[in-house]
Structure 1
Amino acid sequence: MKETIKDPWIKIGYDLFANDGPKGLKIELLARKVAKNKSSFYHHFADIEVFTDQLLAYHLKQSKAIAEEAMSCKAIDPDLIHLLIKVKTDILFNRHLRIHRDNPVFKKCFLEANRPVEEALLPIWTAALGLNTKKNLAKIILNLTIENFYLQVTDTNLTYEWLVSYFDEIKKMVVAMEISN
């Protein structure tokens, strides 16, 4: 797809939001990072709200692409873990949507972005946890895991080692639940 004149603004803004959330979206900082003047920003986006809406639309496109890629994962380790590391910026962007979900627009985008990814992950998740006959339970655990994941994930801990350990802990928890039933 051909890059538009707005794309550098969107990419820089996406990174800033992923790192600092909505408070990181300062027009002066954006302009400096894109190496343009502030009037160029206003020419393309009118204001920060319009810009944020375009960032959210970009994030939804990213989540659909991630979901498509997740469907080709055969196992959590290494396939899904490598994918999660590859889409680190998208995960951190989504994390800030979750953190700021008191904003209805952010909450809506967070839920919309998660839906296709959750659907793509559910088969591999169900198999990895050995819950093939308990798909509803697998879905509940996936939702709880996603919520917990966003509480814990940071720019520094989103590594292969941390993800392996995180998923191992989830497996242990499910095994312990199954034994107690």
Structure 2
Amino acid sequence: MGSKTDSLGNWLTLGYELFSEEGHEGLQVERLSRILGKNKSGFYHFFGDKDVYLEQLMQLHLANEERLIPEFVELAQIDRRFVELMVAHKQTILFQTQLVKNRDVKLFQDTFQQVHQMVEAAIEPAWVRYLGISEEVAMRYWRLIRDTFYARVTLESFNQEWVAGFVKEARLILHEAQKDSTPD
């Protein structure tokens, strides 16, 4: 027989997965309980209501991102290792994507901002080296590329080939823009 913590963890693990794939619309208590093969009363026993559940999912997301940050900090360059990290942490990144897509919900916006600050600080040195431009311009471009990534990525497209192509395209666009802006 599983412990109380295991059961609580099952609700959160499933919710994290569904949120990553479908957003908060995929989190109906009845659906969660059906998938887990548990009674809906278990959900209310652990969480009381859906708002508490969502708050705990956001805390889980922050913890997942905090575990990812040291790996970003260690990157010397935006390269194959960066792409591998992105793909290895696909669910966490897709969760963040759902926060962006549903940022009209204050809890989601606040969580997105917390994560964004951590990730941006961690990725900045490698991103600046990758682009070979000033820190200020590189980070302004990072935000633009980040938002474009969130707008374009899907559960189906999120794989090593797609991410590598996206990163390469981001660099190419910047270098083409630089060439176009230099006087002849």
User: What TM bracket, shorter-length normalisation?
Assistant: over 0.9
Q: Secondary structure at the match of 2:110?
A: helix
Counterpart residue identity of residue 100, structure 2: R
Give the CA deviation at 1:168.
Answer: 1.1
How many angstroms apart in 2 are the aligned matches of 1:162 and 1:76? 15
Query: Who is 2:176 aligned against?
Result: 176
Stretches of 4+ aligned residues off by more than 4 angstroms: none
Query: Who is 2:148 aligned against?
Result: 148
- Tell whether the 8 Å contact from 1:67 to 1:116 is kept in structure 2 after alignment: yes
Give the CA deviation at 1:74.
Answer: 2.7
TM-score of the two chains, using structure 1 as the length reference: 0.93
Q: How many residue pairs get matched?
A: 177
How high is the sequence identity, in percent, across the aligned residues?
32
Query: Who is 2:116 aligned against?
Result: 114
Calculate the aligned-residue CA RMSD, in Å.
1.3
Equivalent positions of 1:5-84 (< 5 A) are 5=6, 6-84=8-86
Say whether residues 1:138 and 2:138 are aligned partners: yes
- Tell whether the 8 Å contact from 1:17 to 1:96 is kept in structure 2 after alignment: yes
Give the CA deviation at 1:76.
Answer: 2.1
Give the CA deviation at 1:146.
Answer: 0.5
The gaps in structure 1 that reach 5 residues or longer are none
Counterpart residue identity of residue 63, structure 2: K
The gaps in structure 2 that reach 5 residues or longer are none
How big is each residue's C-alpha offset from its partner over 1:36-71, in whole Å with a ceiling of 9 and x where there is no partner? 211111100011111001001111111111112211
